[in-house]
Chain A
């Protein structure tokens, strides 16, 4: 996520790192790079100007010259300023004191409102709300049908009295929807509206009409993260027109640099509440500005990862597993179970993408072959219980049988067993609090331990990610079977083998 912006900034900072003292020209050169990187990342010009000015002021001040490591200090300033624009804390959806809470979606055509309506409905439903979707996009051909299909998929009713395709009055639909929701005691009403341009006064007037009819608790401005410089104009138009209380970023799973997030947050002053990161109806999460700023600076998003892990992993199970690892009882059977748990967490690509340094290996991540996991599962499933618990018994003929049974080759079976043995060793070391010594990687101390320390660290060792266990939070994740000792830079397909 924000991969390319991260890449750019980390390239820029490569030159700064290691410098004991920064000259004015160092700072100017860096700021030029940052300016360019931000512009190429589609951050709006006026936002970039403000941003650069703020950084320059702080960078030239005492703050930096007195700092122990000025380069790191500049990075810190950039990070803080990014966070400041993105909003410094994560905001929650505002619920009405007396239900129903009304959420209205607004945005340009094709920004992803209808899909988002489905995702939001599912998310709310998972939180024990009783949402209802309202089809007030009567403009785009079959937008109503699309919402109905989505509603059915996520098991949320859809209020659609009008067929759409130009027929019906959306303001009227919105009004009726509220009455209906009150009567049927739905707790949240999600109003999907037609896409509209900021300059289209007639349509903007209609949006205002809908807003006045439903008096929403939240007007969510849905923004395509690929949006360019026009983000400023669009955001202004929606802010001045219909009013914006929150922002949702869509299509963040693309390779766009996501500068629109900065522009829109800056212009509307409204918090970014959610981000949408894939085609599945689950690919939807709250937006954490501080984490996103870290992401932009390529510090990874370890916290999101851990949270996601905690949602999926059973505490007790994890403890059992940790014990097993410590006692060298970790078997291929456990490995299989772990793998299945991990899969529950969702798409491996998304998971790996949250790790520090992931920006650099974005492409490898995209090429990551999910079916590799299936093959690994097939191999283990083709083993007998004895073999799973004691891989040592695997002789040539057993391996041949397993290869045949799983539709793989002996070579693949060998690879899996070898990787498993290595991984078991690594995990044993880590569970005892030590640093694993993996060939080809270079243990690095975590310094301050908390996120900030990482920036100053040696960045070239990105690939060994999971093994840096100085951070207690991270170690917790690893103990839960999350040590991503992937070697994505050499071979993306083998990424899965080592972990667990």
Chain B
């Protein structure tokens, strides 16, 4: 079980029925969602100034002008000053279970180990290291049987993943938490966000999604479908090709106004060697940080990718300050062995794994479970 700190929802609902400003605050977001559609400026102006929304709110025929003027303002007050009532919650931890396919189809043979590890995308260097390590440990302990060797290998693999903190950083109480999701094209960013949003929603979290993938055709609609499934609010770009940083900014803005617990921002897939696109991530970061702290930057890596995952991770870690890795498509025949090299090189925890297209097909990573799966006798 993971413990997180979130807003105490029940007491807030009571207060909404009494206080008017709260009610308006509930309405304000709807204008925010729509407003990007109307004004032309987001494409040109990097970040729409907060005043834009005050203006947008004013022309609305509201009977009570006074609280209305107050509402957007209070919504914009920095999060720390609001001091919402927090509650520690536990979200069900999803485990990998038996989802990982074993490396071995036959009996364990040390001589084949290097090749087997290479086949699982561990990379030549890591495969050689592990093989040599296993050989020397096995010799020292006199381990020769199939079961003993498997156990030794499992321990070696677990040892290699020293970062065991797969829990998301959602416990410092500084709401809203912001998660930025980055990665190359087709890695599974949007799908991951959909699953994550649903999981949080099931835990009674108020989730806002930001469709900052303004490039790919229908990426916004894809996220919209997930938002619907997860019952989360969505901030859309004004038009295709709009500035993703503006969308990110508006997402956080809505999250603050709506007193949401968490904002998750989807970004366009980008190959790590495209400097301009990578620089754009920096801009998105800065846009978010104007209003809130970024709790997590999750890098989504396709398990079917080979050694290029290292190049991806290095580039994204540098530019986007990645805090954790999500490995997707582990439900296929790909083993994702590259994650051992990744962690060694970058010291980043593996946080989530994706194991299918359905909303519940994901789990929190556990080095122990993963290694057990890899060495299992099947």
Chain B binds chain A: yes
Contacts of A291 on B, CB cut-off 8 Å? Answer: none
Q: Which residues of chain A in 248-276 are interfacial with respect to chain B, using CB atoms and an 8 Å cutoff?
A: 251, 253-257, 259-260
Given the interface contacts A40-B123, A41-B307, does A140 sit within 8 Å of B185 by beta carbon?
Answer: no
Interface size on B, residues (CB 8 A): 47
Q: Which residues of chain A in 107-125 are interfacial with respect to chain B, using CB atoms and an 8 Å cutoff?
A: 108-112, 115, 118
A254 contacts B187, C-beta separation under 8 Å: no
Given the interface contacts A141-B225, A165-B225, A255-B273, does A197 sit within 8 Å of B329 by beta carbon?
Answer: yes
**Chain A: minimal CB distance from B226 (Å):** 6
Contacts of B188 on A, CB cut-off 8 Å? Answer: 109-110
A279 to B214, CA, bound (A): 13
A142 contacts B308, C-beta separation under 8 Å: no
Given the interface contacts A226-B184, A228-B338, A230-B332, does A110 sit within 8 Å of B302 by beta carbon?
Answer: yes
Partner of A224, one of B186, B194, B217, B273: B186
A287 to B338, CA, bound (A): 29
From A70-78, A87-95, A145-153, A294-302, give the one contacting chain B. A145-153
Q: Does A198 contact B (CB under 8 A)?
A: yes
A257 to B120, CA, bound (A): 17
Partner of B271, one of A42, A198, A255: A255
**Chain B: minimal CB distance from A20 (Å):** 31
Q: Does A367 contact B (CB under 8 A)?
A: yes
The winner among B186, B216, B302 for most chain A CB atoms within 10 A is B186
B332 contacts A199, C-beta separation under 8 Å: yes
Contacts of A199 on B, CB cut-off 8 Å? Answer: 331-333
Q: Does B305 contact A (CB under 8 A)?
A: yes
Partner of B308, one of A39, A42, A115, A145: A42
Among residues of A, the one whose C-beta sits closest to the C-beta of B188 is A110
B218 contacts A251, C-beta separation under 8 Å: no
A226 contacts B308, C-beta separation under 8 Å: yes
The winner among B188, B307, B311 for most chain A CB atoms within 10 A is B307
Contacts of A256 on B, CB cut-off 8 Å? Answer: 305-306, 308, 311
For B268-290 the 0/1 string (1 means CB < 8 A from A) is 00011111000000000000000
A199 to B101, CA, bound (A): 11
B305 contacts A254, C-beta separation under 8 Å: no
Size class of the A contact interface (CB-based, 8 Å): 35 or more
Among residues of B, the one whose C-beta sits closest to the C-beta of A225 is B308
A158 to B121, CA, bound (A): 39
Q: Which residues of chain A in 337-384 are interfacial with respect to chain B, using CB atoms and an 8 Å cutoff?
A: 362-363, 366-367
B308 contacts A141, C-beta separation under 8 Å: no
A109 contacts B329, C-beta separation under 8 Å: yes
Partner of A145, one of B187, B215, B221, B302: B221
Contacts of B186 on A, CB cut-off 8 Å? Answer: 109-112, 224, 251
B217 contacts A150, C-beta separation under 8 Å: yes
Q: Does A227 contact B (CB under 8 A)?
A: yes
B215 contacts A279, C-beta separation under 8 Å: yes
**Chain B: minimal CB distance from A130 (Å):** 22
Contacts of B334 on A, CB cut-off 8 Å? Answer: 228, 230, 233
**Chain B: minimal CB distance from A219 (Å):** 20
A100 to B131, CA, bound (A): 55
A146 to B309, CA, bound (A): 26
**Chain A: minimal CB distance from B122 (Å):** 9
B306 contacts A260, C-beta separation under 8 Å: yes
A228 to B272, CA, bound (A): 17
The winner among B185, B187, B217, B306 for most chain A CB atoms within 10 A is B306
B306 contacts A259, C-beta separation under 8 Å: yes
A373 to B72, CA, bound (A): 46
Given the interface contacts A229-B118, A229-B119, does A153 sit within 8 Å of B217 by beta carbon?
Answer: yes
Q: Does B196 contact A (CB under 8 A)?
A: no
**Chain A: minimal CB distance from B262 (Å):** 21
A108 contacts B306, C-beta separation under 8 Å: no
A228 contacts B306, C-beta separation under 8 Å: yes
Q: Does B366 contact A (CB under 8 A)?
A: no
Q: Which residues of chain B in 323-378 are interfacial with respect to chain A, using CB atoms and an 8 Å cutoff?
A: 329, 331-335, 338, 357
Given the interface contacts A110-B185, A110-B329, does A226 sit within 8 Å of B305 by beta carbon?
Answer: yes
Partner of B273, one of A40, A259, A366: A366
Among residues of A, the one whose C-beta sits closest to the C-beta of B278 is A366
A227 to B302, CA, bound (A): 9
**Chain A: minimal CB distance from B127 (Å):** 9
**Chain B: minimal CB distance from A370 (Å):** 9
For B294-323 the 0/1 string (1 means CB < 8 A from A) is 000000001111111101000000000000
Q: Does B171 contact A (CB under 8 A)?
A: no
Q: Does B222 contact A (CB under 8 A)?
A: yes
A491 to B277, CA, bound (A): 21
Q: Which residues of chain B in 161-198 are interfacial with respect to chain A, using CB atoms and an 8 Å cutoff?
A: 184-188, 190, 194
Given the interface contacts A39-B124, A110-B185, A198-B332, does A227 sit within 8 Å of B306 by beta carbon?
Answer: yes
A198 to B185, CA, bound (A): 20
B329 contacts A45, C-beta separation under 8 Å: no
Q: Does A234 contact B (CB under 8 A)?
A: yes
A39 to B126, CA, bound (A): 12
Contacts of A254 on B, CB cut-off 8 Å? Answer: 184, 271-273, 308
**Chain A: minimal CB distance from B129 (Å):** 14
A256 to B184, CA, bound (A): 12
Given the interface contacts A112-B186, A141-B225, A146-B216, does A36 sit within 8 Å of B306 by beta carbon?
Answer: no
Contacts of A140 on B, CB cut-off 8 Å? Answer: 222, 357
A233-B333, A233-B334 given; name 16 further pairs at CB < 8 Å.
A42-B307, A45-B115, A109-B357, A110-B302, A112-B185, A118-B217, A146-B218, A226-B302, A227-B306, A228-B121, A251-B185, A253-B273, A254-B184, A255-B308, A279-B185, A366-B275
3 nearest interchain CB pairs?
A: A228-B306, A110-B186, A42-B306
- A selection of 27 A-B contacts at a CB cut-off of 8 Å is A109-B186, A110-B186, A112-B185, A115-B216, A141-B225, A142-B221, A142-B225, A143-B218, A145-B218, A146-B217, A146-B218, A200-B332, A226-B306, A227-B306, A228-B306, A228-B334, A229-B118, A229-B121, A230-B306, A230-B333, A251-B185, A254-B271, A254-B272, A254-B308, A256-B306, A257-B308, A279-B185
